Amino acid sequence: MHAALKPAALVAILAMAGGAAAAPAVGEMLGRAPEEIRAALTAQGYEVRKMEIEDGKTEVYAVKGSERLEIYVDPASGQVTRVKVK
């Protein structure tokens, strides 16, 4: 590879990797209140479609591109307890 192309290739690879951010991780703090959870996910680029309380957890349905998630948040701690990729 030509020396001038190496930095350009590296920049392209890093840009692609940045666009493929991972889903929220178990243990990640999103917030206790629904408004805090929505704001945290929106800041990560997700569109929150629906939120409801089920079995004592805040259940969040969120979409980012073709990625659809069900995220369960403990309202006492504000932490993610489970993530299901649909």
- What are the pLDDT digits (tens) for 11-28? 444 444 444 458 999 999
Of 5-9, 11-15, 22-26, 59-63, give the lowest mean pLDDT range: 11-15
Q: Count the neighbouring beta carbons within 10 Å of the beta carbon of residue 5.
A: 9
Q: What is the domain partition of the chain in residue ranges? A: 24-85
CA distance 77 to 83: 16
CA distance 25 to 29: 9
Provide the token pair at 22: 């991972």
What is the pTM assigned to this prediction? 0.74
Task: Give the torsion sign (CA, 43, 47, 51, 55).
Answer: negative
